[in-house]
Amino acid sequence: MQTLAAGDGLLRRTVREGGGWTAVLAAVALTGAAAELLLPAALGRAVDAALAGGSRWWAVSACGLVVVLVCTDTLSDLAGGYGAARATARLRRHLLRHLFALDVRATRRHPVGDLVGRLVGQAADAGQAGNSVVLAVVTVLPPLGSVVALTVLEPVLGATLLAGLGLLAVLMRAFVTDASAATAGYQRALGAIAGRLLESLTGARTIAAAATIRREEDRVLAALPELGRHGRRGWELLARASARTSAVAPLLQLTVIAVGGYALTAGWLTPGQLVSAVRYAAMGAGLGGVLATLNHLVRSRAGADRVAELLARPVVADGDRTLPPGRGGLRLRGVSVHGDDGRPILAGVDLDVPAGATVAVVGTSGAGKSTLAAVAGRLHDPDVGEVRLDGVPLRELDRAALRRAVGYAFGRPVLVGATVHDAIGLALPAGSASPPADDSPATPPVLSAARTAAVADVVARLPDGFRTPLEDTPLSGGEAQRLGLARALAAERLLILDDATSSLDTATEHRIAQAVAGRAGERTRLVVTHRAATAEAADLVAWLDGGRLRGLAPHRRLWVDPAYRAVFLPAGDGS
């Protein structure tokens, strides 16, 4: 129920996001509805005037109303298109900002393909809300106006049309209720397929190597029967509602015509008024447009519900504090993180990382190393406990100050940007991240970072060097890691390497380690590693075991413990 309420609230907001174009659409559509209602009356008067030899201005008025209808149809399409585009663009921007502001754990609960589907597909459906609401309101005006006009002409005609419209309204209400559930189910199934498809495309090489293509097809398309069931249900509901209205509408129109014919013979109506009554009967019974508009409104509401589900997730609150002078002293107190199933990933971790030190984080798979790295730089907050950098809680830091101070490099980095230069300069201030206007290969900070990460020679071999588009840059796993590392080197106080050198050869890793270490005390380094050599080179080793900090000491002191050696040695080798 909360999601539905949030979806309705988002729907109302999206209607407002159409801005002036939605207002123009409403004005034009109302003008068209008024012209449509006036046209039968003008035709009736024209017929009576022609039979009686009266004024021809009624015929001219009818022609003018036809011109107005043509113009309003054209302007409605234009205003509706611009309004929907404006609302969709703003909704997508709002959703995208919200997704980036979420805790990374919250976004991981949704497959990327599903998120893309909501951002692209459901946001577009929700963006049509302004058009759907305006047209839904305006579309019912001609039938209701027809009831009023027929009542003025002859009360019996108005009562006849009103009774038929009541029956049609009941049928359409049932359609809206059933179609909403079918559309929501269809969009959920489509999101599941999109999410699995993106996963499969990401792991295409693994699937090909394992010769499991058929199995993967079955996995991706497992939700296809559900998708087909909801899709067929939606079309069946629309077809059933259309059939019912198509059956009732002609009968209703014939009934009004029959009553009007009797009224003409009884002298209650003139021939021109009968013409008007026939037109109003057709207008009132022709509810196909109302049904189509309701179908669009159902899709808009379902899309808004799907987008609102993401927007309802709380974002990570930013602080407003800046860092005092310091060199990256890191302190964790009572830090605990739980998985979605409630299982503790980290449990009561207390860790002091001296400013300027290099601390290796080691442990067996699942010990919580990457989670510790994530909370150390506030990729997400711990469920319990506090993390401080140079004495300031990370929760209270201004986002810009935090990202200047902390840099991340990952084992499988995702490179972001149009060019190689953009990918390395992503974490740099705007002025130094932009490529130079002259023929220089790169700005000094980007070039220095590339050299430190031992990737400048790789970039130099590319067709356009640092200006080479990322999509045209073939990179090995190690080269991608080095680019990701170069991007992270902009960090001023704390550099976090989460298995960031796992794909490098020993010589390159040693070279990078020396460069990253820099001058003594220059910057704090937290290095998640599986290599004993990396741990040995660190000042301290944080040994995690089952989510708890089992030891914090130099590698040589921990090495005397067989359990510690087992972290690095093959299973069963206790030497």
Residue 81 in contact with residue 28, Cβ under 8 Å? no
Name which residue leads in pLDDT, 377 or 574: 377
**What mean pLDDT comes out for the span 330-341?**
91
Which tens digit of pLDDT belongs to each residue from 157-183?
Answer: 778 777 777 766 776 666 667 777 788
Residue 290 in contact with residue 316, Cβ under 8 Å? no
Angle of helix 57-101 relative to helix 129-139, nearest 10 degrees, comes to 150
Q: Could you tell me the pLDDT band of residue 575, with boundaries at 50, 70 and 90?
A: very low
Q: Could you tell me the pLDDT band of residue 288, with boundaries at 50, 70 and 90?
A: low
pLDDT of 563: 92
Q: Could you tell me the pLDDT band of residue 518, with boundaries at 50, 70 and 90?
A: low
Which tens digit of pLDDT belongs to each residue from 122-144?
Answer: 888 888 888 888 888 888 788 88
Which residue is associated with the tokens 């937290």? 526
Q: Which strands make up the sheet holding 406-410, listed edge to edge? A: 406-410, 494-498, 524-528, 358-362, 540-545, 548-553
Q: Does the structural domain 2-311 have CATH classification 1.10.3720.10?
A: no
Please list, in sequence order, all residues whose beta carbon lies within 8 angstroms of the beta carbon of residue 35, skipping any fewer than 6 positions away.
65, 68, 69, 72
Q: Could you tell me the pLDDT band of residue 554, with boundaries at 50, 70 and 90?
A: very high
**CATH fold of 330-414+492-567:** Rossmann fold (3.40.50)
pLDDT at residue 573 above 50? Answer: no
pLDDT of 430: 60
**What mean pLDDT comes out for the span 26-48?**
87
Name which residue leads in pLDDT, 527 or 472: 527
Q: For residues 460 and 74, give the distance between their C-alpha atoms in angstroms, rounded to a whole number.
A: 56
Percent of the chain residues past pLDDT 70, beyond the cut: 88
Q: For residues 572 and 575, give the distance between their C-alpha atoms in angstroms, rounded to a whole number.
A: 9
pLDDT at residue 489 above 60? Answer: yes
Residue 223 tokens, joined: 């939700």
Query: Domain map of the chain by residue range?
Result: 2-311, 330-414+492-567, 416-474
Other C-beta atoms closer than 10 Å to the C-beta of 565 total: 15
pLDDT at residue 384 above 90? Answer: yes
Please list, in sequence order, all residues whose beta carbon lies within 8 angstroms of the beta carbon of residue 187, skipping any fewer than 6 positions away.
117, 121, 122, 302, 303, 306
Residue 338 in contact with residue 216, Cβ under 8 Å? no
Distance of CA 306 to the CA centre of its chain: 9
Q: For residues 462 and 472, give the distance between their C-alpha atoms in angstroms, rounded to a whole number.
A: 9
Q: For residues 246 and 168, give the distance between their C-alpha atoms in angstroms, rounded to a whole number.
A: 10
pLDDT at residue 406 above 50? Answer: yes
- Indicate whether this model's pTM tops 0.85: no
Q: Could you tell me the pLDDT band of residue 574, with boundaries at 50, 70 and 90?
A: very low
pLDDT of 388: 94
pLDDT of 50: 82
Which tens digit of pLDDT belongs to each residue from 60-112?
Answer: 888 998 999 899 989 988 988 888 899 999 999 999 899 888 888 888 778 77
Q: Tell me the residue length of the chain.
A: 575
Mean pLDDT of the chain: 82
